[in-house]
Chains A and B, each alone.
Chain A
Amino acid sequence: MADLNNFTIDGLKCLAREGTSIIDAARQNDQFIPTLCNLEGVPPKGACRVCTVRVNGKLMTACTAKISQGMEIENQTEELNEMRKSIVEMLFVEGNHFCPSCEKSGECELQALAYRFEMTVPRYPYFYPKRNIDASHPRIVKDHNRCILCKRCVRAIKDEKGRSIFAFLDRGFETRIYLDPDLAGQLTEERARKAVEVCPVGAIMPRGEGFKTPIGRRKYDRHPIGSDM
């Protein structure tokens, strides 16, 4: 058991293998750390900053930082949850997120976190940016209005040669997802399904189907995000 590390989350004694990311280690110990960009099995990026925790007093993202012996982690504190809430609000005003008309509603992680943090209306003014919906690909529709630039699709979906299908274009406030003109057209059924699956919001949707799950049976209808821990 030499490679097991003791650490605490909010004072609670926890145990995980050395080198585990804080977010995974927390999950293994039944502690929920919210995130919008992290995805098990995919290299972390620390893009959304929602999983920010305090490690021995220092702010760090739980998806990129690794467990070490004796670490003291703060997670469910007022300060951190307020910070997370304000990030969720920022993401809401940055794009165009109209939940009532979005078929991802009820399955959307951004929406689910907003509920968790009891967000009513964002404290920040809306940008209402003019963005496109790209429906030129055979298997998926990319709705840039709903994209929160978490990079999940960029990191999780590569073609058989390891080449990027989704990528970041431009930088700063102008950043958006770019679909490779050749590879996106040749997306296999399996990869297309995965792309839809990894997207935390309704920015990548399958073509030819919509509102498949009835209201009341959607992912977060009965079990709010994080309620399983």
Chain B
Amino acid sequence: MEESISSILDRYNHDVYRLMDILIDVQSDQGFIGDQAIARIAEDLGISKADVEQTRSFYHFFSKKPTGKYSIYLNTSVNACMMGRDAVARTFEVEAGIPFNSVTRDGLIGLFDTSCIGMSDQEPAAIINGKIFPNLTPFRVKELIRDIRAGKSMEELVVEGYGDGQNSNPDIRAVVSNNIRKIGPVLDPDYKPGEVIRKKLPAMTPQQVIDEMKRSNIRGRGGAGFPTGMKWEICRKTESDEKYIICNADEGEPGTFKDRVILTERPKLLLEGMVVAAYAIGARQGILYIRHEYKYLKIYLEKLIEGAHKRNLMGKNIAGIEGFDFDVRIQFGAGSYVCGEESALIESAEGKRGEPRDKPPFPVEKGYLDKPTVVNNVETFCSAVKVLLNGADWYRSFGTTDSTGTKVLSISGDCRYPGVYEVEWGFSVNDICGMAGADDVIAVQVGGPSGSLVGPSDFDRILCYADLSTGGSLIIFNHTRDLLQDVVLNFTSFFIEESCGSCSTCRIMPVILRNKLLKILNARGAKSDISEMLEWAAILKASRCGLGQTAANPIITSIQNFRHLYDQKVRGEVRYDSGFDLTQATQEAIAATGRYTAVD
């Protein structure tokens, strides 16, 4: 063990800023990060155990105790639950003989919950030792546990056959489907890697690249919609000896999976986009930050980066442009939704807890290692390449005036054709439902839990930055769903699980709200509970980051758009605190005095 930790520390040059990578490798090598490993890492990096422990304990996939020879992480997302997670989870428990979040006594199997893993179109899905197992059924679970007990290898556990496209690539071999249903500029298979770097960049100055981006009116695809050209320009103009490009591939918004498909099918386009951005702002280093759940793409992507170096699309004097050097390293996360927030992502890439920073300063001025940094979404980089290839005018011919270009959507839930659709901005919610083959729709979650739950009266609203803005997650619900129990409660619990805890409002208020929601769901709610939820939730706007500010959106938007569902569940005009059960609360005293038989 001592030896392997030493070689891991060597691999990352004993650099404290690479603590994430060190912990990831120790976790994957030893199955846990125990006290001994923590002490060894702390001593070597010249930090305290507390310093190591604060990063270690922040991330879901870092464990202090062994997680089992076969660590099974079963998704808890809304989609997983809609597609039969309960029965699958129960079968896991029965077959393994343990409840979730524990390990069998022989150390063979560990069962754990995990937030959305980016497989919403093929749920319920689990990650077993880093490999994805989608479309689980109780039958399949029995098979899996039987095979694990029989000592089969990870490869032998796979009976499904590998997925379509590059999912079957020998460097990936994943049982994952792309489900590409509609292509556009980003997903277009007719793409010649390196064409823009070789043919366009040498003929353009960095400022011309930025001008073209600005003319295209392209805005960030992560959801916030900041104008990309302007972001690049501010970063270019900020003086510094070093600048960085970071690609945010941490898509963690439940219901989103389009970046997974782009990383699988168009990774060269993404890398080319990072090179273009590096040229524009003058960066020499890039980081591709990918969520831990997609670690199965590691070797595949690393080889592509190697290949780009060989073909002079990365490295020194790229495409013959004197002095244009750029390299990309991959940084994996370790299970944290908030790391999708750009400043939290930067903290994480620096080996720290993924706690968002207060802004200003923004990353374009002070980002990775306090240097000017451009953080863009996967799709933004991909689109940037097409903007340069075909020109800003061509790009503007897609979409609306305010929202130009296309958006790659992740559509899931109650529809016949869940998957990835690249559409022009300007589609309505109705169009989406029609496209995906969804009938009898009672609600659509637009933009994931941090977005809005909209009902039929809003289905003609348009997807664009000015109306219904979205990072691309759309989850469709039909009449069989209990929106409050199945959707709102699940999303609220998700935000509680994923809060970083560093600011008071987001750490505490969602828990207060969930308790109130549970009170209503348990038929103990009063009318005042509904109005109090709305009133109390307002404090979240004082939170530091987007996660905190939107953590009550599931509750707020469902009260706004589905008020009747709440009204049905609360008791008319009760004025006393209906959440308090006197008999229940006095059980202990009753039992102690023996005067009254306790109700069980």
Contact = CB atoms under 8 A, between A and B. Distances in A.
B578 interface: no
B50 to A, nearest CB: 4
B46 A86 contact: no
Contacts of B336: 171
A87 to B, nearest CB: 6
Contacts of B51: 163-164, 167
Contacts of A170: 57-58, 501
Interface residues of B, number: 37
B515 interface: yes
A139 interface: no
B491 to A, nearest CB: 15
Contact of B507 (A66, A124, A172): A172
Contacts of A75: none
Interface string A153-173: 000000101011111111111
A142 interface: no
Given A164-B47, A181-B49, A172 B499 contact: yes
B360 A65 contact: yes
Contacts of B58: 168, 170-171
Contact of A169 (B47, B57, B505): B57
A125 B501 contact: no
A196 B455 CA distance: 53
B47 A49 contact: no
B57 A171 contact: yes
A172 B539 contact: no
Contacts of A178: 50, 53-54, 57
Contacts of B164: none
B358 interface: yes
A86 B512 CA distance: 12
B536 A173 contact: no
A159 B498 contact: no
A123 B528 CA distance: 13
B515 A47 contact: no
Interface stretch (B298-306, B423-431, B436-444, B540-548): B540-548
Interface string B501-516: 1111101110110010
A61 B358 contact: yes
Interface string B42-60: 0000111111011001100
A39 interface: no
A28 B344 CA distance: 32
Interface in B324-363: 336, 353, 358, 360
Contacts of A182: 48-49
Classify the interface of chain A: helix, strand, loop or mixed: loop
For B48, B51, B498, which residue has the most chain A Cβ atoms within 10 angstroms? Answer: B48
Interface in B393-413: none
B496 interface: yes
B360 A180 contact: no
A64 B362 CA distance: 12
B504 A47 contact: yes
B225 interface: no
Given A64-B358, A168-B54, A173 B48 contact: no
Given A169-B57, A171-B500, A172-B496, A90 B48 contact: no
Contacts of A91: 504, 508
A49 B499 contact: no
A69 to B, nearest CB: 15
A213 to B, nearest CB: 28
Given A165-B48, A165-B50, 11 more contacts: A44-B358, A65-B360, A86-B536, A87-B542, A90-B539, A159-B48, A167-B53, A172-B496, A172-B497, A173-B496, A182-B49
Q: Which 6 pairs from chain A and chain B are nearest by CB?
A: A175-B501, A180-B50, A64-B358, A163-B48, A167-B50, A167-B54
22 contacts: A45-B502, A46-B503, A48-B503, A49-B544, A59-B542, A65-B360, A87-B539, A93-B508, A94-B504, A149-B501, A163-B50, A167-B53, A169-B53, A170-B57, A171-B499, A172-B498, A172-B500, A173-B496, A175-B502, A175-B507, A183-B49, A183-B50
Interface of A: 44-50, 52, 59, 61, 64-66, 83, 86-87, 90-91, 93-94, 123-125, 127, 148-149, 151, 159, 161, 163-175, 178-183
Interface of B: 46-51, 53-54, 57-58, 336, 353, 358, 360, 496-505, 507-509, 511-512, 515, 536, 539, 541-544, 579
